[in-house]
Amino acid sequence: RYCRRGNIGVLTGDDGVFVIDSQFANTAPKNLSKINEISGSAPTYLVNTHWHGDHTGGNANFGATIIAHENVRVRLSTDQRTVLLGNERTTPAAAPAARPVITFNETLSLHLNGQTISIFHAPAAHTDGDAIVHFKDANVIQLGDVFSPGRFPFIDISSGGSLDGTIAALTTVLDLCNGETVVIPGRGPLSNISDIQASRDMLVDVREIILRAIADGMSADEAVTENLLADLEADWGGGVISAEIFTRLIYDDLSRNTSVPEVTRVSPPSSAEEVN
C-alpha cells in the first residue's frame, strides 16, 4: 500500500535506538509508542533524510540527538518558501529542539548495534539536503523522498532539488545494491534494485523527452497539451504528482539550463568522519 506519510526506519540494540525520520508532530505519540514496543526505549539518535515536515515534524517530540545534512539545519532554522507551479507555501522555522545538532557536508559514518551505517549527501536531488542512509552489514538502504516507487516524484526545485541530481542519486544507489538489498523509500512499500532501476530509467526518459521539447521551442503549456508523458502516465501517474504536473515541474527545472551535461553517479568518498 502506498503510504502518504514518510517511512520511519528503526535500528535497535545495546548502543541505543537509531531512527530515520520522524513524520509529523501529531503522529509522534503513536510512532514513539511503536518504537518503544520494538526496542523497549525511546530514540537515541534521529537522522533526517531532508527538511520537509513529513520527515522532520516530529523531531522535537522524539527527544533524540538529531543528525542531518548541514542544509537541513539551515532550512529548519529559517522560514522556508516552497513553490510548486506558482503555488507558494511558507513553512515557519522549526523550534530549536527540532533542529539537527550533528551535521555533515558529504559523508558521515556511525558504528552502532553491530552495524556500520554510512550516511551520504545526494546533492541537488529531492532537495539540497538529502541524506541516503546505507546499513552496510544489513544490506538495507533508506533514501527519503529521493525515491518514489511507482510514482512520478516531487522534486522541490525551490529547495535546491533537480532532476539531474535525482537521477545521479539513484545511479549511486544502484551501484550499492544487489538482488538482496532492501530499499526503504521516503514513502510507499519496501522496494528493491529493480524498483530503483525502473524509477531511474523513467526519469532518464522524461529528461530526454522534455529536453527535446525545449530544444524544439515548445512552451510548457504546449508540452502539456501535447501530453508528452502519455506513455508513462499509466505506470507512474497514480500519485500526487500527475503527468501534467510532472511535465511542468521538469520543464521548469530543465529550462533553467538546457546545456546540461550527461548525468553521472554521485560517488560517496571512500573515507568518512566517524562517530563511535
Please give the chain's pLDDT, 276 residues, in tens: 334 568 999 999 999 999 999 999 999 999 999 999 999 999 999 999 999 999 999 999 999 999 999 999 999 999 998 887 678 889 999 999 999 999 999 999 999 999 999 999 999 999 999 999 999 999 999 999 999 999 999 999 999 999 999 999 999 999 999 999 999 999 999 999 999 999 999 999 999 999 999 999 999 999 999 999 999 999 999 988 999 999 999 999 999 864 444 555 565 655 444 444
Q: What is the pLDDT of residue 259?
A: 45
Give the pLDDT confidence score for residue 263 in this predicted structure.
Answer: 54
The alpha helices in the chain, defined as continuous H runs, are: 28-39, 53-56, 59-62, 70-76, 163-176, 193-215, 220-225, 230-236, 243-255
In the structure, how many helices (H) and strands (E) does the chain have?
Answer: 9, 13
- The reported pLDDT for the residue numbered 128 is 97
Q: How far is CA 162 from the centre of its chain?
A: 12
From residue 63, how far is each of 67, 73, 256 by CA, in Å?
12, 16, 41
d(CA 121, CA 203): 20
Q: Are 157 and 253 in contact (CB under 8 A)?
A: yes
Amino acid 272: pLDDT: 41
pLDDT at residue 271 in the model: 42
Give the model's pLDDT for residue 88: 87
Task: Write the burial class of residue 261 (CB in 10 Å: 0-12 exposed, 13-18 middle, 19+ buried).
Answer: exposed
- Residue 44, all three cell numbers: 537515541
Query: How far is the C-alpha of 127 from the C-alpha of 68, rounded, in Å?
Result: 13
Rounded CA-CA distance 228/7 in Å is: 32
In order of 52, 90, 206, 234, 247, the CA distances from 226 in angstroms are: 33, 33, 14, 16, 10
φ, ψ for residue 102 (rounded to 5)? -120, 120
Cell of 270: 571512500
